[in-house]
Chains A and B, each alone.
Chain A
Amino acid sequence: MKIENKSVGIIIWIILMVFAVESAEAIPAFARKYKTSCATCHMVFPRLTPFGEAYRINGYRMPEIEEESVKEEPISMGAEAYKEVWPNAIWPGNIPGTSPVAFRINYGFSYDKTNTKTPSKFTIPAIQLFMGGTFSDKISFFGSVLLVKGHNTNALQMVSMVFNDMFSKYLPEHAFNLRIGQFVPDLTTYKNKHRSLTHTPYALNTYVPAMGSYWAPGSHQRFGIAGQVIGMEASGLLTKRLRYAIGLSNGNALLGEDNKGKDVFGKVAYKSGGMAFDGSSVGDIFGASADNWSEKSITIAAFAYYSSRLDKDNAKDIVLQRFGGDVNIFFRDLNVIGGFITGTDQDYFNREMINRKYDVFFLETNYMIYPWLAGVFRFEQANPKDIDSESFDSVSRYIINISALYTANVKFSIETRINPDIPEEKNLFIGLDYAF
């Protein structure tokens, strides 16, 4: 299928904006804590069910039923009654009763006809270590380290602590949470390829304006908003179905931004139907279905990101601005998600300041054929707009993926990318992904 009129495509899909199925920050350590299956929070991992999303938003605690759900008793750092003694005693808390770590390993086999040197190869395994849990009913933590992947060993991806339900005496429940550390901003669905159902990362993360292409290994000039930042982020529920997040950071952690300017970002999202963000629901949201993703809902979100970075080559600060939104629609076994980003990058070209403007969007449909089998179809397009001194054509592609769970924590997938502008491009990826 070829979309001949990209404007029509944009108009059709612009209304589809995604939020909910965001970062898959549930890990096997949580499965051990509650002695429950990965399927409690995940459809095909890492994609979250509505309940899994509510679990994440609730600070990695079961909404409303945390205490009775925990099977591994935490280690008490002080009885609750010590709250009455404070400030003459340490405020009480606890640490996880079991080691709160988990591993995820993925590798596979790839074939790329355009790579004449090595068209086919077994890919280098990636091993991630995750850690996550709670220290009390108000503090939670999450982190991940990429232990081994090619030459990038021991890369710290995320490590953050969240103070949940702050000022709860004065504010409604879940109104204000504060995350501090290195993390991916809570803005979009397509932040990190390790949370995607597809092997191919989202173009919104990887598109390189300077190259006019989706991927330029080693390039830092990607269009997408920062993968990980170092800073703080406030988020919460204004109502059960209205979420917000605002943050302040140094900027892209991987770039090691060190200018005095700070990045600022914010988002708001609204969900209609299905399970609310706090895990509550009215009536039987799954209907006659036994499947815990099978709700009818639509979530729309909008975000903005402002970044000030140091261009080291020219020793000057450059500004990057992004606006975007996403939609996530659940209709029983069908999940349609879509998002777009539009923005402007200042850049230097031949020692002169230029502005690169782009919009990038995608539309993805996921269908749960069986509880263990998901089909994914994604269309992506990047459209250069007003560029001062260079011009690139729009690029688009399709990604088709079938993911199958052998067990809840072992997944096989097969995937191909189709580039309508380069029909001779043929590629295939067969992946194995497991976590414990």
Chain B
Amino acid sequence: MRIRKILIILFLIITNAIIPESMAKAESTISGIIKARGVRDARNVVVYLENVEGVFKPPEEKPVIGQKNLIFNPHVLPVLVGTTVKFPNNDNVKHNVFSPSKAKKLNLGTYGSGIVREVTFDKLGKVSLLCNVHAEMSAFVVVLENPFFALTDTDGKFTILGVPPGTYTIKTWHEKLKEKKQEVVVKEGETVTLNFNLSR
């Protein structure tokens, strides 16, 4: 009996190790292009999925929004809810980070060069970040319910990787452009192409 159990366990281990990659579940991708009218270019559009089933753990590696040359960088950061973001001051002057947004009201105070402060974003929504020392500085953290999101580049291109098969709502967010949404059906191993035209 014991030998039988050992043999079954060994069999399962061996078969899982040698299952060809092609027989593993293929990942699906959603990609596309955003065309934006009324803004300088189509970068920094957050494209994200809603209604994806599952429990998603925030990443252990903490993303960073730095302050350098009187600019927040990156300007837009999409994150999974529960993610902790680091805010290092990489400038030679003092900076402040605060937000009036409902999704996360915060004020990290004013701090000097080399100091890093952290914030955990635990509510869904957009968080506007400002500096009360330098009024022209701003950035946005977009807190999302799942990790299936992407940020467009200058040309408006985006790719969302590893999407499980299913039917979802795909939405856009931009600080100045109106939100748009579409329904998308994703099949296993498929690459779906979706484009958006956004305007003010």
Contacts and interface: CB of A to CB of B under 8 A. Distances in A.
B38 interface: yes
Interface in A49-100: 64-68, 76-82, 84-85, 88-90, 92
B38 A84 contact: no
A92 B38 CA distance: 19
Given A65-B38, A68-B40, A81 B135 contact: no
Interface string A8-47: 0000000000000000000000000000000000000000
Given A84-B101, A85-B100, A79 B135 contact: yes
B106 interface: no
Interface in A283-298: none
B194 interface: no
Given A84-B100, A85-B130, A79 B39 contact: no
Interface in B12-37: 37
Contacts of A89: 135
B101 to A, nearest CB: 7
A76 B101 contact: no
B44 interface: no
Contact of A64 (B38, B130, B138): B38
Q: Which of A65, A80, A85 has the most CB of B within 10 A?
A: A85
A80 B176 contact: yes
B53 interface: no
- Which size class do B's interface residues fall under? 10 to 19
A93 to B, nearest CB: 10
The majority secondary structure among interface residues of chain B is loop
B128 interface: yes
B136 interface: yes
Q: Which of A66, A68, A81 has the most CB of B within 10 A?
A: A81
Given A76-B136, A77-B135, A92-B135, A82 B130 contact: yes
B137 interface: yes
Contacts of B199: 64
Given A64-B37, A64-B38, A67-B40, A84 B128 contact: yes
Contacts of A82: 130, 135, 138
Given A65-B38, A68-B41, A81 B130 contact: yes
Nearest to A81: B128
Contacts, number: 49
The majority secondary structure among interface residues of chain A is loop
A68 B128 CA distance: 23
A359 to B, nearest CB: 46
A173 B58 CA distance: 42
Contacts of B135: 76-79, 82, 89-90, 92
B38 A78 contact: no
B114 to A, nearest CB: 24
Contacts of B176: 67, 80
B173 to A, nearest CB: 14
Interface string B163-200: 00000000000011000000000000000000000011
Given A84-B101, A84-B128, A85-B100, A78 B136 contact: yes
Contacts of B129: 81
Contacts of B39: 67-68
Contacts of A90: 135
Contacts of A79: 130, 135-138
A273 B66 CA distance: 52
Contacts of B101: 84
Contacts of B128: 81, 84
Interface in B41-61: 41
Contacts of A76: 135-136
Contacts of A81: 100, 128-130, 138, 140, 175
Nearest to B135: A78
Contacts of B100: 81, 84-85, 88
Interface string B133-176: 00111101000000000000000000000000000000000011
Given A65-B37, A67-B39, A78-B135, 14 more contacts: A64-B37, A64-B200, A65-B38, A67-B176, A68-B40, A68-B41, A78-B136, A80-B138, A81-B128, A81-B138, A82-B130, A84-B101, A84-B128, A89-B135
7 smallest A-B Cβ distances: which pairs?
Answer: A79-B138, A76-B136, A81-B128, A78-B135, A84-B100, A81-B138, A85-B100
Interface of B: 37-41, 100-101, 128-130, 135-138, 140, 175-176, 199-200
28 contacts: A64-B38, A66-B38, A67-B38, A67-B39, A67-B40, A68-B37, A68-B38, A68-B39, A68-B40, A68-B41, A76-B135, A77-B135, A77-B136, A78-B135, A78-B136, A79-B138, A80-B176, A81-B100, A81-B129, A81-B138, A81-B140, A81-B175, A82-B130, A82-B135, A84-B128, A88-B100, A89-B135, A92-B135
